[in-house]
Amino acid sequence: MSDGHDGECPFTLQRALMRQRWESLTFVHWRYPADLLQRMVPPGLTVEQHESSAWVGLVPFRMHVSLPRLPAPPWAGRFAETNVRTYVRDVQGRSGVWFFSLDASRLGAVLTARSLFHLPYFWSAMSVSRDAEVVEYSARRRCPGPAATSRMKVRVGAELNAGSVTAREHFLTARWRVFSHGRRGLSFVEAEHPPWPLRQAELLDLDDTLVTATGLPAPSGTPLVHYSEGVDVRLGPPRRADS
pLDDT in tens, 3-61: 667 889 999 999 898 899 999 999 999 999 999 999 999 999 999 999 999 999 999 99
Cβ neighbours of residue 187 under 8 Å, at least 6 residues apart?
118, 179, 180, 181, 238, 239, 240, 241
CATH of the domain at 74: 2.40.400.10
pLDDT in tens, 99-138: 999 999 999 889 888 988 899 999 999 999 999 999 999 9
pLDDT confidence of residue 1: 40
Is the distance from CB of 122 to CB of 144 less than 8 angstroms?
yes
Residue (of 3, 26, 16, 15) closest to 199 by Cα position:
26
Is 13 within the bounds of a domain? Answer: no
Is 61 within the bounds of a domain? Answer: yes
Is 7 within the bounds of a domain? Answer: no
Rounded CA separation 156/234 (Å): 26
Q: Which residue has the higher pLDDT, 235 or 67?
A: 235
Domain membership of residue 67 as a residue range: 18-240
Total domains, the chain:
1
Rounded CA separation 66/61 (Å): 17
Residue (of 107, 108, 113) closest to 142 by Cα position:
107
Average pLDDT (176-188) is 93
Is 55 within the bounds of a domain? Answer: yes
In this prediction the pTM is 0.94
pLDDT confidence of residue 69: 63
The length of the chain in residues reads 243
Rounded CA separation 113/84 (Å): 15
pLDDT-derived band at 74, boundaries 50, 70, 90: low
